[in-house]
Amino acid sequence: MAPDQIEVSYRIAGRLVSFFDFKAEPDPDCTYVIDLSRPGAPANVGGNLPATPTMRFFGTVKAVPAVEKIIRQNEHDFAEPERRFGNEFTPAGKLTVLKHLLTYWGRNPPHRHQERKGISATIDVTHGFKAISQLVTRVDIDSMVNLSEKDTTVLKNRSGIGLAADDDVEYVTEEWPVLDISVDGIGCTIPRAAGNWVKIGDLCGLKAKNSQLWWVGMIRRLKTDPQDIVHAGVEVLAKKPLSVWLRTLGKGAEKVSNWESSSGSFEYDYFPAILLPDAYNSYVNATMLIESGSFVLDSIYQVMMGEKSREIKLTGLLAEGEDYEQVSFEWLDPEQG
């Protein structure tokens, strides 16, 4: 979680602390354990964990109904600002944190279950939504259909790349040593002269030395070992991301059916986005990255994908970082809108 999300989590926990359990004996509602004789981070309670007198078990299971209630209230009345947990955080940002806590506060919190394989290699790392959206595989502007000459010019100017080759895109990469990998994770160390930008929750682009393709990842864990070396855990969000443009109209064009009948009375606007395929490398249930502050529930966009352009409706805010939002969406049938 990003630092501001950690702050929101702290405030939410403070309000709901009366629901928490803290016991000296194992309990089904206590999913975490600490050992007072061995200072360290809390651990998940395993099925065969032998209890000792110095162990303390705690859990947040009983807070789950309260969190679910708050989430329902915010999702059903998204326009009404969420005033709890601090006015300096956006309602959408609070909702993202609430959903994250709901995942980890239940009886079966997620934990690492994939085998990690040790490896000695390096990987190129860059960061920033705008840079990554230009580096990953993208739909060529010149392959798009239903674009006027004016819109084509506008879109190329917005992209900042025109017909330039990838080599002309301005970005900075750092070389990080890789210690281990799993199906969707990478364990790295960050060189002392690099990584000044790194925060938990930051978006990053990843490229293996023997590949031309960029992956999209997110910084999930950071820790410093006794030798003062910083270790980073990176979740791979997508190995086959696709950079696209979203097209939208102004007010009065909320329905897709209005778009083609607008007779030029509306002007299009364009927004960069990165499609993240699902676990089966399909875009049927994909999620999407957009620039921070762009998410509006139920907004309709046209995804510019050449001859396969389709309309979508944004359905939820899944996560957010300093310069991006990860959102869910649904593909609309051609006759919808």
Query: Higher model confidence: residue 138 or residue 186?
Result: 186
- Kindly provide the b/e burial profile for residues 260-276, where b requires at least 16 CB atoms within 10 angstroms of the residue's own CB: eeeeeeeebebebbbbb
Lowest mean pLDDT among 72-81, 250-259, 321-330: 250-259
Residue 168 amino acid letter:
D
Token pair in block for residue 121? 């290699």
Q: Report residue 172: phi and psi, to 5°.
A: -120, 135
Report the half-sphere exposure of 46 (CA within 13 A, side-chain side). Answer: 7
Q: Tokens 């897709």, residue? A: 256
Instruction: Choose from 104-113, 173-182, 295-304 the range with maximum mean pLDDT.
Output: 173-182
Model confidence band, residue 205 (pLDDT cutoffs 50, 70, 90)? very high
Token pair in block for residue 122? 């390096």
Gap between the Cα atoms of 146 and 153, Å rounded:
13
Q: Report residue 45: phi and psi, to 5°.
A: -75, 120
What is the side-by-side strand order in the sheet with 32-35?
21-23, 55-59, 32-35, 43-44
Q: Tokens 């989430």, residue? A: 71
Gap between the Cα atoms of 281 and 318, Å rounded:
19
Q: Tokens 């049927």, residue? A: 284
Q: In this structure, are residues 316 and 284 in contact, taking their beta carbons and an 8 Å threshold?
A: no
Model confidence band, residue 114 (pLDDT cutoffs 50, 70, 90)? low
Dump pLDDT digits (tens) for 251-281. Answer: 444 455 555 544 455 567 888 899 999 888 8
pLDDT reading at 140 higher than 70: no
Gap between the Cα atoms of 335 and 172, Å rounded:
44
pLDDT of residue 252: 41
Model confidence band, residue 111 (pLDDT cutoffs 50, 70, 90)? low
Residue 310 amino acid letter:
R
Q: How close are the terminal C-alpha atoms of the chain, in Å?
A: 36
Share of the chain above pLDDT 90, in %: 36
- Do you know the residue count of the chain? 337
pLDDT of residue 326: 92
Closest CA to 287 of 321, 238, 251, 247: 238
